[in-house]
Chains A and B, each alone.
Chain A
């Protein structure tokens, strides 16, 4: 990577918001081309990877993930007008997400959603207490790569299974990867309900989703 973009990678990785935004502004002022804008977006992705690495090393906690996603969004707001139409609409993949039937708790889902969007996914958010039929309908409509079911209540570990069974009955299960997330999910729960992955934090969940779409 050209050195002038490295400052973006580092500033985002270190969560230095002003430095990060100033660097983007300067680069865009010097060169408003779509190509330059795309390089900036690539640098942002590398910066987020750095954030993820710090998280895995227990340097960063969930608070830093949320802050990073927010900083990144502010950066994207600056870059977006300069991107070519093609680049602006380029996405890593598509996801349908909602909280498990019977569960209204959505703080975790919202964090995960913003992290997924920051990573470059299109996220269709069905909201809270999402019935299995609503998941099925949306999957039929938008044909996502991934379905995410989030929950806080231990009861949700069962209703997540209801969603997955409905996807099976509708013949859609093999077309998507399913990830379950939230405080109570475990590997045992993942196997029991028939999901492909589980995550108790947004960072590893996003990493898994990126692997699935080959990013």
Chain B
């Protein structure tokens, strides 16, 4: 089969799944990040700093795992060159001894914005970000004008190189050489997650919603237009690829607080992206069961939910009509399971797929051994065999 035809076949399969139509088989999206490097014999420093090695790794995965239908852009690997240039310590690739970590380390940005600065942020979010938040996170911009503006310009050039070499060029190579589509064409975060991740830290935002409710609500509203712009600016309309949106704080909030603080801009974001005829792909970390009633209010058959774990059957039943659910074998099971356990997961997923649409994905951070490759291969083969269509399988993976 020509690469063009293969590419189109994969795109059609993913698109059908996103639209809740039945594709010819279970589509498989492979949510690898640094594992592409481990698999190809590179460490995370190679991946973060050396764009040709990064591309080589992803291309090798695409070559060796032809069952896969889509790979995410390499954003998850993170750009070491950019963090070095901006003098950031938020992502750590190697220890003090210079030895690369086995996995990328994400350190909390923490208390970048102080508790009393909400009004200043709300009055002019962009100004606050450029003049206060970024210089505090990245020392390279912590300079008086005009040096700071100059630093931004220099940074823009490094960033442009990164986007070109690690994202655009890799995406083109994957498509042309391997017939492999990209799972995402853009990304954003929900405003309240931005405040947690980049402004106030986890404890900070948790305390703020208890102590300055109105400010948090107003700040989320003030930030919303910028985060929506990040999602859809310069992005073409179309069902597939999706817009990746990792959801971070929701499952730490009681539903009442979720409704008050998170839901208003969350709902608005989803509606706005869907209005542009794009598909939000929500990375639903943690246990979302307490929030299913909210999810049911999202536009039907327009949103994808990436889930790590949970009661898949219940999930399908409760929110499967609204969300296309992507999920599968948890990483720990991949790392340590027997072949039988992997087969069992594949059975469950294939069976649930028949209830509507189910995608498979699997996440970063598993080991580099050949054993893993074998397990994955067997798992994929089982997924693709479609043996379990309409066959109810025993199901006991509730809390894995």
Binding site for B on A (CB under 8 A): 15, 17, 58-64, 66-67, 70, 102-107, 110-111, 129, 153-155, 157, 183-184, 186, 188-189, 192
Contacts and interface: CB of A to CB of B under 8 A. Distances in A.
Interface stretch (B59-67, B69-77, B105-113, B155-163): B105-113
Given A67-B210, A104-B105, A153-B365, A188 B252 contact: no
Contacts of A102: 101-103
A179 B129 CA distance: 41
Nearest to B333: A188
B256 to A, nearest CB: 9
Contacts of B399: 186
B107 A104 contact: yes
16 contacts: A58-B290, A61-B254, A63-B209, A63-B210, A63-B254, A67-B206, A70-B207, A102-B102, A104-B105, A105-B107, A106-B108, A153-B365, A154-B335, A155-B102, A188-B332, A188-B336
Contact of A59 (B102, B206, B254, B331): B254
B105 to A, nearest CB: 4
B365 A107 contact: no
B272 interface: no
Contacts of A184: 331-332
Q: Which 3 A-B pairs give the minimum distances between C-beta atoms?
A: A104-B105, A62-B252, A61-B254
Nearest to A103: B105
A183 B108 CA distance: 16
Nearest to A71: B210
B251 interface: yes
B202 interface: yes
Contact of A104 (B92, B252, B366): B92
Interface of B: 92, 95, 101-103, 105-108, 202-203, 206-207, 209-210, 251-254, 257, 286, 290, 331-332, 335-336, 365-367, 399-400
| Chain A interface main SS type | loop
Nearest to B210: A67
Given A104-B92, A104-B107, A15 B210 contact: yes
Given A102-B101, A107-B108, A154 B207 contact: no
Given A61-B252, A66-B207, A186 B366 contact: no
Contact of A63 (B105, B257, B336, B366): B257
A70 B206 CA distance: 11
B253 A154 contact: no
A36 B254 CA distance: 35
A60 B257 CA distance: 10
A129 B95 contact: yes
A76 to B, nearest CB: 17
Contacts of B106: 104-105
Contacts of B286: 183
B206 A155 contact: no
B107 A61 contact: no
B251 A154 contact: no
Contacts of B101: 102, 104
Contacts of A106: 108
A110 B95 CA distance: 21
B254 A157 contact: no
B332 A186 contact: yes
B369 to A, nearest CB: 12
Nearest to B335: A154
Nearest to A67: B210
Contacts of B253: 61, 63
Nearest to B105: A104
A154 B92 CA distance: 17
Q: Which of A17, A61, A107, A183 has the most CB of B within 10 A?
A: A61
B251 A67 contact: no
Contacts of A155: 102-103, 365, 367
Given A153-B365, A154-B335, A184-B331, A66 B103 contact: no
A58 B251 CA distance: 11
Nearest to B337: A188
Contacts of A66: 202-203, 206-207
B207 A107 contact: no
Nearest to A184: B332
Given A61-B253, A61-B290, A154-B332, 16 more contacts: A61-B252, A61-B257, A62-B206, A63-B254, A63-B257, A102-B101, A102-B102, A102-B103, A104-B92, A104-B106, A153-B365, A154-B335, A155-B367, A157-B332, A184-B331, A188-B336
Contacts of A61: 251-254, 257, 290
A186 B400 contact: yes
Contacts of B331: 154, 184
Contacts of B209: 63
Given A63-B206, A63-B209, A66-B206, A154 B365 contact: yes
A184 B108 CA distance: 18
Contacts of A105: 105-107
Contacts of B103: 102, 153, 155
A110 B110 CA distance: 13
Given A154-B331, A154-B366, A184-B332, A63 B400 contact: no
A153 B203 CA distance: 20
A59 B253 CA distance: 10
A58 B209 CA distance: 19
A62 B365 CA distance: 25
